[in-house]
């Protein structure tokens, strides 16, 4: 099976976690796009979704799924999203699609986080994928130096030769060279640095369940 087929497999499998009659939290990325396409088949049984990015909002709306503002909803039963890395404890690195801040917000207001990913995303220790960190532009230099003191090299993410601007009007640093052996401690520490909007380690909002697409089918990790 191709990686694209594995993504479609887990996107479809995630439908079993969607509660008919309830608003669903929707993440961002190519795997989530497969989930959104599958979700359209049950749109008549759903009030709609809370979305984690402008890109997902557009896709949901194009398929006729209503998108609610996060502030209109107190709690969601389930949030479905992909990951750039996931370890055996359900700790993740996210933000490859630059949507990490809104993803963490929607995850935090959801009782259950269902991660959908192909098996290439599974790692023993977080840190292989460059760690995305959303930052306030005036703090880029200072935060880059703080990561250097930890042994990491931070690079400003660009698009078309210019710094990428997130849905929140901020920038992204991608940090290589880190081995994140204590995801909870790391997330807590980096989140405190002035100018950090969101660090892409999802430890406090870890996955409750992971649907992993493998050559032999969907593997469910709890």
CB of 80 to ligand 5RP, least distance (A): 10
CB of 29 to ligand 5RP, least distance (A): 3
CB of 13 to ligand 5RP, least distance (A): 14
Helix axes 3-13, 30-39, angle to 10 degrees: 40
Active-site residue, 119 included: no
* DSSP state, residue 126: B
Binding residues for ligand 5RP (CB under 6 A): 27-31, 81-84, 94-100, 103
- Point out the catalytic residue in the list 103, 119, 134, 187: 103
Q: Are 209 and 117 in contact (CB under 8 A)?
A: no
Is 174 annotated to bind ligand?
no
- C-beta of 39 vs 98, nearer to ligand 5RP: 98
Is 21 annotated to bind ligand?
no
Q: Measuring CA to CA, which residue among 211, 221, 186 is closest to residue 201?
A: 186
- C-beta of 117 vs 139, nearer to ligand 5RP: 117
Q: List, in order, residues 6 or more apart from 132 with CB less than 8 Å away.
A: 84, 93, 94, 95, 96, 98, 100, 157, 172, 173, 174, 200
- C-beta of 54 vs 182, nearer to ligand 5RP: 54
Catalogue the active-site residues. Answer: 103
- List the binding residues for substrate: 28-31, 81-84, 94-97, 121
């Amino acid at each position: 099976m191709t990686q694209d087929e594995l993504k479609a497999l887990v996107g479809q499998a995630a439908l079993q976690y969607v509660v008919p009659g309830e608003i669903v939290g929707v993440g961002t990325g190519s795997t989530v796009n497969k989930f959104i396409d599958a979700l359209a088949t049950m749109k008549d049984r759903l009030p709609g979704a809370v979305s984690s990015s402008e890109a997902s909002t557009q896709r949901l709306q194009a398929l006729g799924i209503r998108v609610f503002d996060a502030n209109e909803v107190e709690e969601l039963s389930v949030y479905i999203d992909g990951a750039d890395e996931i370890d055996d404890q359900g700790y993740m690195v996210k933000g490859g699609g630059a949507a990490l801040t809104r993803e963490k917000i929607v995850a935090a207001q959801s009782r259950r986080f269902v991660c959908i990913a192909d098996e290439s995303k599974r790692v023993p220790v977080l840190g292989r994928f460059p760690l995305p960190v959303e930052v306030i532009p005036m703090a880029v230099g200072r935060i880059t130096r703080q990561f250097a003191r930890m042994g990491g090299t931070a690079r400003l993410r660009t698009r078309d030769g210019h710094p990428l601007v997130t849905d929140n009007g901020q920038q992204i640093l991608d940090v290589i060279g880190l081995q994140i052996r204590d995801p909870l401690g790391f997330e807590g520490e980096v989140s405190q640095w002035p100018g950090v909007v969101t660090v892409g380690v999802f430890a406090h909002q870890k996955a409750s369940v992971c649907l992993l697409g493998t050559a032999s089918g969907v593997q469910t990790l709890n």
